[in-house]
Structure 1
């Protein structure tokens, strides 16, 4: 694990694991099929076409027999969403309404004084910018602009919109007076280095400021829209200790309650779009941070919702972005709809022109299926009044329709095109069936092509080839497997072997097990994994727990394995002694050779 559990309360971790069933957690990302005592699927952490990824419900763990990745539900969320251990626990606690100890939410973050100072600086900076917008002459022009775009005072307050004056040192002086280290503030993205490295200046100047919050509601970055002409139109905070734009969704902290209730997310492009949608009654809207949709965004949303409504701009760029996002979302298992806007308008402009009720009812609630949207998008690229244009459109439309699994869906869209273009439905159906047959023949031999989401996170060639393990290695794994299942077995092995395992990782796991049981904790691999402090150990312990070790044991079985473990270092010493004896004989030191031979005999007796 990248970082240990630190001071996270044990009861919080146990509640998170109890409320987040491993099958449900993994099943949101991986399609699982029951086979024997395991659930099997295609591993999301490496590329494969034959399932080697397993989930064991009674143990509460996942494990890939090919790449070795494994762990409990918390570990799965960490790896899929790129979260630290504290972030994953905090996120999962929130999702299940698990209360954190009052006044101690900081326990869920490892000690990081610089991070804490940055959070404080961002919180105060957001309040400062908001004050400047609403209460000073600096913000007058910005306030007039916002009102001209129909931003109400209520929304300006709700989203804590502010203004950064067009001066070099407004924020710099504000932070310096409050004893913040300016170099630290520059690393945190609030200031920039002055030319030639002489001091610091405000990063944001002459811009309307939109605070960006983490999913827990703490301000971690800003987006600044320039007031008037100039480039860039939007300036975002850089990636920092607090902020990574590929892992943050704007307004998630406010919208997650509505998302959880509806299991639907409205995905927009801009900050203004989210705010206008909110004022229109669309309370489940979020936006990406001026970047394309990423796998991290998708994984984050997958744990909150089942359906995505894309409400991108109505211009060509917005529609192209929607077309690009659809397959990524569908491969993750989302139902995808697309809100269709009049050409050239974005959601913010639509609300300003036609009002919030019309936006909610005629755009969001009337969103069309992804297939319907693709056909609408395709139609705009062809002149249907010309025969060549009509034929080209039909050919491309059939490519989309033929790929649909449902015959009912195919029929609906084929009849629609037949009616619209005055063509024979039977001819279209025949062409579609021929195309479908051709598609199925031409599916490449490749690697799980229709489920790229499930296995595209790592390149091929990272799968470990199984090797035959030496006897002492197998013995150590067997001992640890018994110890994970039963504290009495751990006590027996601890008294006779302690941490004298030959493999460092095994010795470390044993030490953690002794400490775990010494605290009176119950056996169970899922809980034990949360006590480990190392990613490699977690994978090793998960793999060991997957061994087919019988639940019952007796002292003779344990003694045999302990003997095998203790025998290995003696064998190594004997091999070294034999090499020393050969060297002594080669140099003519026969007395030394005889002494070594006696030592070898003594080792053999042991």
Structure 2
């Protein structure tokens, strides 16, 4: 993890103070209290038994399954695919903490592989854009875009490009710039040949839409085929940079407008966003060939309070809108649904009726989630028949009765009464009966566990439990005490220094000595932000989770130190035993006797 050297330390500390670890994690993981810990299903690997643990008093998280761990900043980095400076900046903005951007050097990840992939994505995006606008290859794609109402200004604004119908256009471009082609295949720019003999371009004969992260860096691409082939849209595969369930198209461009209005308009496609943008709707994002997820909702909730869902007007689009409501409401949004008639999608509507009508009638005229549910359910019944009317009323009660506001319930019941020609009093009575049944059947606890997505990283598998040797346990216990108390660190420094046997433990001890030398107090979360290595951070989170008592004795510390010091002595004994056996085999009994004497002296130690 980056130290964020270009970010003032007081900003990092203010961010950690303001963003409580439980609040941060709870937006993505359903946590339940277990003693002094909070537990839930890990969002970073698939599991059925909760092993993801949050410690409120130490402000850290750790998964005993996959090993992920860190503080609130680290969680945001992992869950949203941000670098350390990007996460700090985002969290500072949310907390209204003054943040001075220290330039692009701070925003680059410290991982060389990711750095190379980001650079390759950036250059590839510019290359595709150049091919679209300046070569004969791109002429057909330019004609297609203009026919779709996407004029040159929008093409430039959204960095749209074109991948020619050839196998090696991008391959040659990347090869000439000395990129590692295997890494480029892993990052989704190239595809491996079936026979394993090399690589080819992943995108061919497609209009290219670059996909950016929240900070505006190109992390992936989507290609729309020009002809009739399949798939119609081809996305970059999931990678260390790109996860569809946590990425929203156009967020980097629209986030300021979303924050300003405290409102976001959510679309399903790139074309919808671009058309809406041209119509003057600039608080827009889109999911990318995937349903809206809890992570999408949590990311947007940090910017907005109201969500307008603007999906296609056909049955599939309306069904997807219906599914999005509990996710958005579960994240705390006020939700409205844009109603587009005639089975049109938003892009088609703008082209047919114009941007002004789209803005005023569709976006501003979006209906409440309750109203939409009633309209959606109504379509499934023949209301001219009594049976259809009764079935619809039953379904409508399931929507209206749980509403907490009596006024709101009355408004919808009156509309239902007028619509179905059924007396308001009888509907009110049925609604009250339904509410009584609801209260009677309500279970204790939270029944919303299915709303939480806990399988975002299928390929990150849990680690098998390992029985650690005694010295390893002693080192972890000693470090756990040191994390809690500066006095322990000072005691260990004087008697053991950096003589830990595990390389990672020695490095953590060295960082801890330096941390306390700067006059800082014991704080595991704050200490993690000073580390420079992701592996060390995971180890610290695991050690900090140990149930070590707050009280300690010099006797216990000395026992741990003695166990740790035994290891190099035991290694010396083993080595000398081998030398003694070699000397005896060679007939050099005098040397063998001297070595035996040295072994006895070491064993006394």
For the superposition of Structure 1 and Structure 2, which TM-score range results when normalised by the shorter chain?
0.7 to 0.9
Shift of residue 419, structure 1, vs aligned partner: 1.7
Retained in 1: the 8 A contact 2:7–2:102? no
Retained in 2: the 8 A contact 1:308–1:334? yes
Select between 495-504 and 240-249 the one with higher mean Cα deviation: 495-504
Q: Does residue 154 in structure 1 map to residue 150 in structure 2?
A: no
Count of residue pairs the alignment pairs up? 541
Q: Secondary structure at the match of 1:371?
A: helix
Residue 14 (structure 2) aligns with: 18
Shift of residue 287, structure 1, vs aligned partner: 1.0
Unaligned runs of 5+ in 1: 33-37, 463-472, 550-556, 571-598
Residue 529 (structure 1) aligns with: 528
Residue 408 (structure 2) aligns with: 409
Retained in 1: the 8 A contact 2:480–2:546? no
Q: Does residue 9 in structure 1 map to residue 5 in structure 2?
A: yes
Retained in 1: the 8 A contact 2:264–2:306? yes
The 1:529–1:134 alpha-carbon spacing in structure 2 relative to 1, beyond 3 Å, is closer
Select 1:540's aligned residue among 539, 543, 556: 543
Shift of residue 412, structure 1, vs aligned partner: 1.9
Retained in 2: the 8 A contact 1:220–1:243? yes
Shift of residue 379, structure 1, vs aligned partner: 1.1
Map 1:83-482 to 2 at 5 A. Answer: 88-89=87-88, 91-92=90-91, 98-106=99-107, 108-112=108-112, 114-194=113-193, 196-444=195-443, 448-450=446-448, 452-453=450-451
Q: Distance in 2 between matches of 1:524 and 1:39?
A: 17
Residue 467 (structure 2) aligns with: none
Retained in 2: the 8 A contact 1:475–1:562? no
Shift of residue 234, structure 1, vs aligned partner: 0.9
Shift of residue 84, structure 1, vs aligned partner: 6.8
Shift of residue 542, structure 1, vs aligned partner: 5.4
Select between 249-258 and 141-150 the one with higher mean Cα deviation: 141-150
The 1:433–1:497 alpha-carbon spacing in structure 2 relative to 1, beyond 3 Å, is farther
Q: Secondary structure at the match of 1:110?
A: coil
Map 1:66-81 to 2 at 5 A. Answer: 72-78=71-77, 80-81=79-80
Deviations 1:358-409 (A, max 9, x none): 2122212222221111111111111222222211111111111122233332
Q: Secondary structure at the match of 1:173?
A: helix
Residue 552 (structure 1) aligns with: none
Retained in 1: the 8 A contact 2:307–2:334? yes
Q: Secondary structure at the match of 2:222?
A: strand
Shift of residue 91, structure 1, vs aligned partner: 4.5
The 1:301–1:174 alpha-carbon spacing in structure 2 relative to 1, beyond 3 Å, is same
Q: Distance in 1 between matches of 2:372 and 2:12?
A: 39
The 1:523–1:295 alpha-carbon spacing in structure 2 relative to 1, beyond 3 Å, is same
The 1:343–1:474 alpha-carbon spacing in structure 2 relative to 1, beyond 3 Å, is farther
Residue 569 (structure 2) aligns with: none
Q: Secondary structure at the match of 2:426?
A: helix
Deviations 1:115-143 (A, max 9, x none): 33333332222222222222233222222
The 1:201–1:80 alpha-carbon spacing in structure 2 relative to 1, beyond 3 Å, is closer
The 1:309–1:137 alpha-carbon spacing in structure 2 relative to 1, beyond 3 Å, is same
The 1:405–1:70 alpha-carbon spacing in structure 2 relative to 1, beyond 3 Å, is farther
Shift of residue 322, structure 1, vs aligned partner: 1.2
Select between 282-291 and 83-92 the one with higher mean Cα deviation: 83-92
Deviations 1:219-244 (A, max 9, x none): 22211111132221111112234322
Retained in 1: the 8 A contact 2:500–2:564? no
Unaligned runs of 5+ in 2: 30-34, 457-461, 463-472, 566-599
Q: Distance in 1 between matches of 2:420 and 2:485?
A: 71
Q: Secondary structure at the match of 1:312?
A: coil
Q: Secondary structure at the match of 1:212?
A: strand
Q: Secondary structure at the match of 1:265?
A: strand
Q: Secondary structure at the match of 1:196?
A: coil
Q: Secondary structure at the match of 1:431?
A: helix
Shift of residue 417, structure 1, vs aligned partner: 0.6
Q: Distance in 2 between matches of 1:153 and 1:565?
A: 70
Shift of residue 496, structure 1, vs aligned partner: 4.8
Q: Distance in 1 between matches of 2:322 and 2:515?
A: 51
Shift of residue 449, structure 1, vs aligned partner: 0.4
Select between 190-199 and 237-246 the one with higher mean Cα deviation: 190-199
Q: Secondary structure at the match of 1:211?
A: strand
The 1:232–1:215 alpha-carbon spacing in structure 2 relative to 1, beyond 3 Å, is same
Instruction: State TM-score, norm by structure 2.
Output: 0.76
Q: Secondary structure at the match of 2:195?
A: helix
Residue 32 (structure 2) aligns with: none
Q: Distance in 2 between matches of 1:205 and 1:387?
A: 56
Q: Distance in 2 between matches of 1:79 and 1:525?
A: 19
Deviations 1:501-524 (A, max 9, x none): 999999886554223223454543
The 1:409–1:154 alpha-carbon spacing in structure 2 relative to 1, beyond 3 Å, is same
Retained in 2: the 8 A contact 1:13–1:89? no
Instruction: State TM-score, norm by structure 1.
Output: 0.76
Shift of residue 356, structure 1, vs aligned partner: 1.3
Deviations 1:529-579 (A, max 9, x none): 32352324214325669x666xxxxxxx75465467579899xxxxxxxxx
